Amino acid sequence: MEIKFSPAVYIPLVLFYTGTGTGLDVVVSHRLKTSLSNTLTHFYPFAGRIRDNICIDCNDNGVEFLEARVCAGTSLADVLARPEPDVLLRFLPARIMSLEAYTGSLLQVQVSLFECGGLVIGISASHKLADAATLSTLIKSWAHSARDGPTEVAPPDLTAASVFPPTKMLTTAQPSEALKLKLRTRRYLFDAKKIAALKVKSASEVVPRPTRVEAVCALLWKCKIKALESNAGPWKPSVLAQTVNLRKRLDPAMPEDSVGNLIGFYTARVDRTSDEANLPSLVAKMRKSMDEYVRDYARKLRGPDGFSMIWTATMTGGELMKEDGFTLSVFTSWCRLGLYEADFGCGKPDWMSSCSSDFKNTSVLTDTKDGEGIEAWVTLREEDMELFEQDQELLSFASLNPRILAGCNLR
């Protein structure tokens, strides 16, 4: 499994549970720890360490499991009343940009217990080994073990290592650190009704039925273009980079539970804001670029030229990140991954969050609990966010950081 192409960062995920009941926190925490240990017998690469920035040494060094108790007087309902990124990050066991993702544990877990009986599970998984789909597979198996016992857990697919084997030509490469910028992250909620209206507004003869992810990404991209253009001076072309889960798009396809960082990305470009930065045009560009990426790249990765294609795409992506002739917006969708199904024996999560990002111009899309809406976590430079969050078209479709669980019964 080629890990050099993956960044040395942690994937952040926080799951919130309000229904555990008071007095059960010790029992729940013990069950989570024991079941995670049982799960790792199947997901054993997570208990290893990175070796020479090429492969995982499955040496069974283990993972980090932390237990935290939230200070008295703070309830989970208080946190969910207005979830702020800086507060949510405290529930994670490691920062997103952390060298531990390269030198230390590939998986860290923090269980935070509230006096009111609620708990929060914070997970940091190394992007060197995992993508969001792999993290979802791990969490589902872990939850199954906690709820039904270890004998009921089906092992995941670990064949990605044989499909994309490591190569020594990458041993000298070292991870780089992101630029330190003053960034701000905002959470936007698109409910099902607003998404339906947005899909109608984004439709065209080219794409008569946009997906909800396409419609939301197009609107966010359009609003980013306006904000970045206002602050950047003269108009620069805008490039969207959208991550793609490669598992079902390879030829032949790989199982959905394949473990690894099996993602790629396609790019779409806007050269003239007045002509091209409208929703139907943006959706059409995204759909066309996605179709071309799957046809010309993804389906050929398991062929004889697969490695050279990965290498070329990685080098091209690296140059793209450095180029100053345009603005780059990165989008990642975690929709349809089933993260709201993670029942560890105390009910399904009331809310989940990807928190924030340490990278500018990024957006992470997740499902709402009903599976119909979308939450978008948008990270921009502070000066760009000041304009972005005032965009009236955006606010006509999305709510800025609304309350979670208005009917929460925790006190």
pLDDT of residue 54: 76
Q: Of the listed 78, 157, 191, 343, which one is catalytic?
A: 343
Indicate if the pLDDT at residue 87 is higher than 50.
Answer: yes
Spatial distance between the Cα atoms of 171 and 179, rounded to a whole number of angstroms = 24
3-state helix, strand, coil in the chain (%, to 5): 40, 20, 40
Indicate if the pLDDT at residue 408 is higher than 50.
Answer: no
Q: What does the pLDDT look like over 41-75, one tens digit per residue?
A: 999 999 999 887 778 888 999 999 999 998 878 88
Indicate if the pLDDT at residue 33 is higher than 70.
Answer: yes
Q: Of the listed 127, 144, 257, 358, which one is catalytic?
A: 127
CA dihedral 139, 141, 145, 146 (to 10 degrees): 20
pTM of the predicted model over 0.85: yes
Domains (range + CATH), the chain: 10-170 (3.30.559.10), 183-400 (3.30.559.10)
336-356 average pLDDT score: 92
In which band, very low, low, confident or very high, does the pLDDT at 16 lie, cut at 50, 70 and 90? very high
Q: How many other β-carbons are positioned within 10 Å of the β-carbon of residue 364?
A: 25
Indicate if the pLDDT at residue 245 is higher than 90.
Answer: yes
**Contact predicate 113/68, CB 8 Å:** yes
In which band, very low, low, confident or very high, does the pLDDT at 313 lie, cut at 50, 70 and 90? low
Spatial distance between the Cα atoms of 397 and 341, rounded to a whole number of angstroms = 27
Indicate if the pLDDT at residue 159 is higher than 80.
Answer: yes
Spatial distance between the Cα atoms of 308 and 177, rounded to a whole number of angstroms = 25
18-30 average pLDDT score: 69
127 flagged as catalytic: yes
82-109 average pLDDT score: 89
Indicate if the pLDDT at residue 276 is higher than 80.
Answer: no
343 flagged as catalytic: yes
